[in-house]
A and B are shown apart, each in its own frame.
Chain A
């Protein structure tokens, strides 16, 4: 019964991870991260229903809150980088290295 939800969650997570690895645009990478988070949320909720308690659902809310906070910080950073470098490519921001 819950298998479909889990397969969907896995697919979403894989799409998100692939996006993080292959896309250069910071906004898109960011959205892919959100996709992975939501794939996790889906897995939590599915398992909560399967086990029959509320803990997984509560954790899903926590993840949303953390994700919202992360969006605020992350977007602010991306915008700042874009303003100074006129680019939102994650490969251009590579000064911090050996």
Chain B
């Protein structure tokens, strides 16, 4: 297949030439807040918001400068500095630079835009927390690292950002580290992500040894469309990295626990941006290692399809509103991965879904945070009910996000998710129909969440006084729900996003896929969603919701326990790991220590006996000297050298 990826043009000056400012602003913010510590307590949150907004402004200006160029010149590379110098007289091994192209600028706009809204929201949400300043410094650190991840023009820069967001995620999940559950969850996220990072790192090693470069602009020529065992191995290794960061099977277990962090963190990092880094990695590497029809791309799609079902099933059984949303996030990223494995036609929908998901999922997470804010941080949906009258703004915005995610016609999610499903049915029918089934389950669990929270009878705790959140929290909700309403139509109808992205990811700009409103998979999806929503209404809307979790069937327990993912990890890795450590300790105590201690005891004992020859009698010494001298003389005489 002919590649339509545009050449990367070197660029200097203008906003794009200074786009490093995008990363610098939040980085400086984090630095100031962390170094000047409690001196910044009074205005620290404002600085954090200002830095995030400044970054957003740079991103918007860069975007407008970028669309000023023709479509084929929209891949602008900005050289920053020589990062890893080469041997004397040879070019640098790794040059650090930024790549501003349609793909990266889409991400940058999402990160800084949604990021800024969540920064603003956090002013209200964290107002009672005495460590609010520290919270904002971590948020700024996250934004800087995430921007480096998507803007870097080589895998090394991407990896630094990748680790940076991992660090920020760790710090923010464990933000309330006095809670043992939060500290454990942070550690778990870190450890599981290490597994994925191992894949990414080894993948980079293989890329370097096979192609001698890690820069995106050189890799295209080096790989040159060749597919062999090496590129397949690289693809699978990168996929492992993507699975870790994006909570895809089999590295999904950390995301549900990550909900221990403050809710804005769940919205920004564990729904809208960081967890989509895996999708970015796949799409960015798509032309090199995941071309349409390759084994690696198929693996991406399969992982996506399996995860979208697993996440949806988990979402069905969770009573914790945030964990329900986390299962849903897993599932939606599964859709993106499914799309990302389908070549350029899927990329546009995957990225489109990523952007709209960033809006509606952040919207719902922040909505959940607003509910918790009014309900004394209660997260159990069985203790909610009938909240729509008390939190009208939260309810309306959440409801828009809900309609968007289940794919209600003409809302954002409808266009992007249906796009993925249609493309998948076209390319990989089995996976495509699984995605249709997943959409039906989505309809069920999201409706369940809405009905349990906002409809039905009140089931509150006695001391709950639900109230609407302040404007600083609800305004971001409104903005995000506007995005959930119309963004999908704007991006997908007329193939706007497809044509915008095609220079960066490939795909014939003239052959933008048209969006069909009436298709078999589309209608099937709508029907299944309707069935799911109706079923949820019968179980949780009309019928009374028990305040105590019923025991449930085998299937419910299966979903409640996260499909036994933790049990599996425990029996497969943790227990054998413990045996291994015990074996090592035993070997260390008995084996190594035995040898060392035995040697020491042997030397000590023999020297204890040997020292008995020091009798203290001078004449004994004299005799030994005399005998020694005599022996020496005799020996010399014998050799005859005297």
Give residues in A with beta carbon < 8 Å to B.
17, 20-22, 24, 90-91, 93-98
Q: Which residues of B contact A24 (CB under 8 A)?
A: 619
Interface string of B273-309 (1 = CB under 8 A from A): 0000000000000000000000000000000000000
Q: Which residues of A contact B578 (CB under 8 A)?
A: none
CB distance from B608 to the nearest CB of A (A): 9
A94 to B618 CA separation, bound complex (whole angstroms): 7
Q: Are B615 and A20 in contact (CB under 8 A)?
A: no
New contact pairs (9) apart from A94-B618, A98-B615, CB-CB < 8 Å = A17-B626, A20-B619, A21-B622, A90-B617, A90-B618, A90-B619, A91-B617, A94-B617, A97-B616
CB distance from B480 to the nearest CB of A (A): 86
Given that A98-B611, A98-B612 are known contacts, is A21 also in contact with B626, CB under 8 Å in the complex? yes
Shortest Cβ distance from A33 into B: residue: B622
Q: Which residues of B contact A97 (CB under 8 A)?
A: 614-616
Q: Which residues of A contact B618 (CB under 8 A)?
A: 90-91, 93-94
Query: In the complex, which of the residues A22, A24, A91, A97 has the most CB atoms of chain B within 10 Å of its own CB atom?
Result: A97
Interface string of B586-621 (1 = CB under 8 A from A): 000000000000000000000000011011111100
7 closest Cβ contacts across the A-B interface? A97-B616, A94-B616, A98-B611, A98-B614, A90-B618, A97-B614, A94-B617
Q: Could you list 19 A-B pairs, sorted by A, with CB under 8 Å?
A: A17-B626, A20-B619, A20-B622, A21-B619, A21-B622, A21-B623, A21-B626, A22-B619, A24-B619, A90-B619, A91-B617, A91-B618, A91-B619, A94-B616, A94-B618, A95-B616, A96-B616, A97-B615, A98-B616
Q: Which residues of B contact A20 (CB under 8 A)?
A: 619, 622
A22 to B615 CA separation, bound complex (whole angstroms): 17
CB distance from B642 to the nearest CB of A (A): 13
Shortest Cβ distance from A20 into B: residue: B622
Shortest Cβ distance from B615 into A: residue: A97
Shortest Cβ distance from A23 into B: residue: B619
Shortest Cβ distance from B613 into A: residue: A98
A17 to B619 CA separation, bound complex (whole angstroms): 11
Give residues in B with beta carbon < 8 Å to A.
611-612, 614-619, 622-623, 626
Shortest Cβ distance from A91 into B: residue: B617
A94 to B621 CA separation, bound complex (whole angstroms): 11
A97 to B611 CA separation, bound complex (whole angstroms): 9
CB distance from A34 to the nearest CB of B (A): 15
A21 to B617 CA separation, bound complex (whole angstroms): 11
CB distance from A20 to the nearest CB of B (A): 5
Chain A contact residues, majority secondary structure:
loop
CB distance from A86 to the nearest CB of B (A): 18
Q: Which residues of A contact B611 (CB under 8 A)?
A: 98
Q: Which residues of B contact A90 (CB under 8 A)?
A: 617-619
A74 to B275 CA separation, bound complex (whole angstroms): 89
A95 to B617 CA separation, bound complex (whole angstroms): 9
A40 to B619 CA separation, bound complex (whole angstroms): 21
CB-contact partner of B615 in A17, A21, A93, A94, under 8 A: A94
A26 to B216 CA separation, bound complex (whole angstroms): 93
A63 to B616 CA separation, bound complex (whole angstroms): 29
Q: Which residues of B contact A91 (CB under 8 A)?
A: 617-619
A94 to B616 CA separation, bound complex (whole angstroms): 4
Q: Which residues of A contact B619 (CB under 8 A)?
A: 20-22, 24, 90-91
Q: Which residues of A contact B622 (CB under 8 A)?
A: 20-21
Shortest Cβ distance from B614 into A: residue: A98
A74 to B618 CA separation, bound complex (whole angstroms): 14
Q: Which residues of B contact A93 (CB under 8 A)?
A: 618
Shortest Cβ distance from A18 into B: residue: B626
A93 to B623 CA separation, bound complex (whole angstroms): 17
CB distance from A91 to the nearest CB of B (A): 6
Shortest Cβ distance from A17 into B: residue: B626
CB distance from A18 to the nearest CB of B (A): 10
Q: Which residues of B contact A22 (CB under 8 A)?
A: 619
A96 to B621 CA separation, bound complex (whole angstroms): 12
A21 to B616 CA separation, bound complex (whole angstroms): 14
A95 to B626 CA separation, bound complex (whole angstroms): 22
Query: In the complex, which of the residues A21, A90, A98 has the most CB atoms of chain B within 10 Å of its own CB atom?
Result: A98
CB distance from B607 to the nearest CB of A (A): 10
CB distance from B604 to the nearest CB of A (A): 14
Q: Which residues of A contact B623 (CB under 8 A)?
A: 21
CB distance from A37 to the nearest CB of B (A): 15
A93 to B616 CA separation, bound complex (whole angstroms): 8
CB distance from B609 to the nearest CB of A (A): 10
A51 to B626 CA separation, bound complex (whole angstroms): 29
CB distance from A52 to the nearest CB of B (A): 21
Shortest Cβ distance from A95 into B: residue: B616
Shortest Cβ distance from B630 into A: residue: A17
CB distance from A74 to the nearest CB of B (A): 12
CB distance from A29 to the nearest CB of B (A): 8
Shortest Cβ distance from B608 into A: residue: A98
A21 to B612 CA separation, bound complex (whole angstroms): 20
CB distance from B617 to the nearest CB of A (A): 5
A24 to B618 CA separation, bound complex (whole angstroms): 10
CB distance from A44 to the nearest CB of B (A): 17
Shortest Cβ distance from B626 into A: residue: A17
Shortest Cβ distance from B623 into A: residue: A21
Q: Which residues of A contact B612 (CB under 8 A)?
A: 98
Q: Which residues of B contact A17 (CB under 8 A)?
A: 626
Q: Which residues of B contact A94 (CB under 8 A)?
A: 615-618
Shortest Cβ distance from B617 into A: residue: A94
Query: In the complex, which of the residues B611, B612, B616 has the most CB atoms of chain A within 10 Å of its own CB atom?
Result: B616
Query: In the complex, which of the residues B614, B615, B619 has the most CB atoms of chain A within 10 Å of its own CB atom?
Result: B619
Q: Which residues of A contact B614 (CB under 8 A)?
A: 97-98
